[in-house]
Amino acid sequence: MMSTSRVPDSDAVIRAAGPRILRELTRPWAPGRGSLVVVAVSGGGDSTALLRLLAGLAPGRGWRLVAATLDHGLRGASSADDVRFVTALAADLGVPLEVSRLDAVPGSEDAARRARLAFLADVARRHGAGAVALAHTMDDQAETVLQRLARGAGTAGLAAMRRWRPPWWRPLLGVRRRDLRTLLERLGQAWREDETNVAPDRLRSRLRGRVLPALERAAGPGTVAALARHARLAAEDDLLLEQLAAERLGDVIVATAPGRFSCSRAALRGLPGPLARRIVRRLVAALGRGTTRLEADHVDAVLGLLAPDARGMRIELPRGVTARRERGLLVLETPVETVR
């Protein structure tokens, strides 16, 4: 970690970044002139670089920035030190800062991630921000692809993180982590190190520290970029499949009621598997107001009810949603009070 007592001006940041990083930050999906952008900052190298870059670009782009940091308490006293670091950095840059602390330490990394996103979404709503900038890099994207491959994910999962999925904006997905460290060193800018990023009990840490370096040694230095490109191509395919699935909804749904979709088993059975899967996921998500996430085994079980010789008649899904056969129909439903 570098140390610094002075924050360079915007021109210095832009010069240090160079045209390639700046091009990633100003692609067509970047917020428009005058936009208010919430910047998620943990104090780590990636998010520190993101805040420095956006603060350097903001005057010329007309952006208004609000930094936001959440103390989730997962690292004890180090978490509080992170907050103090971010507070000082935001003050040096003249960027308003929103800080929050969780009352209870999350029980898992996934719970901590959900709490962080909920906090950032709340900050964006309160400030009327059109975008929340997240500091995920090309390396993070490659790690996510590998993590999801290991789980047997389909096209949607392998699309990994999207550059722009409102309000989430990831302008650094085309930038390597090492290039951001080089930028910070050029600026003499400090950052915080999170020791949990190298904890051997975490899958992502093992992918970062062992698997990706081994892949790069075996397949060449372009491996990270190739995995990130795979995510982009999968995202394009997924978008097309989602559009095609939406177009076929009218052929499948024969009746609706509060908390219930009645679908033609024959129509759903006649669709290509990728479309049938997306329709099932879409309808179950609608019943759970977007909170019900199905695993592949759940979807397979629901589609199993479509077969003429299916043995089962009813399947329990997460969040109280059920799928059952009823004559020529597949009925997806949840108790009415769940959807009120």
What's the pLDDT tens digit per position in 217-232? 999 999 999 999 999 9
pLDDT at 283 over 90: yes
Q: Look at the pTM and tell me if it is higher than 0.85.
A: yes
User: How far is Cα 221 from Cα 3, in angstroms, rounded to an integer?
Assistant: 30
Q: What's the pLDDT score for residue 27?
A: 87
* Phi, psi (deg, nearest 5) at residue 286: -65, -40
pLDDT at 280 over 50: yes
pLDDT at 76 over 50: yes
User: How far is Cα 118 from Cα 106, in angstroms, rounded to an integer?
Assistant: 13
Instruction: Work out the pLDDT band at 335, boundaries 50, 70, 90.
Output: confident
Domains of the chain, residue spans: 10-231, 258-339
Q: Considering only the C-alpha atoms of the chain, give the largest distance between any 2 of them, rounded to a whole number of Å.
A: 73
DSSP H or E segment with residue 76: none
147 alpha-carbon distance from chain centroid: 14
For the domain with range 10-231, which CATH number is right: 3.40.50.670, 3.40.50.620, 3.40.50.150, 1.10.490.10? 3.40.50.620
Q: What's the pLDDT score for residue 104?
A: 73
One DSSP character per residue, 253-300 reads EEEEETTEEEEEHHHHHTS-HHHHHHHHHHHHHHHTTT-----HHHHH
Instruction: Work out the pLDDT band at 290, boundaries 50, 70, 90.
Output: low
Could you tell me whether strands 97-101 and 131-133 are parallel, antiparallel, or unpaired per DSSP bridges? unpaired
Q: Which CATH class is domain 258-339?
A: alpha beta
User: How far is Cα 275 from Cα 269, in angstroms, rounded to an integer?
Assistant: 10
Q: What's the pLDDT score for residue 110?
A: 80
Q: Smallest Cα–Cα separation from 69: which of 147, 134, 151? A: 134
In this structure, the chain runs to a length of 340
Average pLDDT for the chain: 91
User: How far is Cα 6 from Cα 187, in angstroms, rounded to an integer?
Assistant: 9
Mean pLDDT of 186-211: 86
User: How far is Cα 148 from Cα 234, in angstroms, rounded to an integer?
Assistant: 12
193 alpha-carbon distance from chain centroid: 22
Could you tell me whether strands 322-326 and 64-71 are parallel, antiparallel, or unpaired per DSSP bridges? unpaired
Tell me the pLDDT tens digit for each residue of 45-71.
999 999 999 999 999 999 999 999 999
Q: Where is pLDDT greater, at 75 or 54?
A: 54
The DSSP letter of residue 44 is: B
SS3 call for 77: helix
Tell me the pLDDT tens digit for each residue of 22-38.
999 998 889 999 999 99
DSSP H or E segment with residue 314: strand 314-316
Query: Which residue type sits at 266?
Result: A
pLDDT at 1 over 50: no
Could you tell me whether strands 131-133 and 36-40 are parallel, antiparallel, or unpaired per DSSP bridges? parallel
Q: What's the pLDDT score for residue 325?
A: 93
Tell me the pLDDT tens digit for each residue of 136-169.
999 999 999 999 999 889 999 999 999 999 999 9
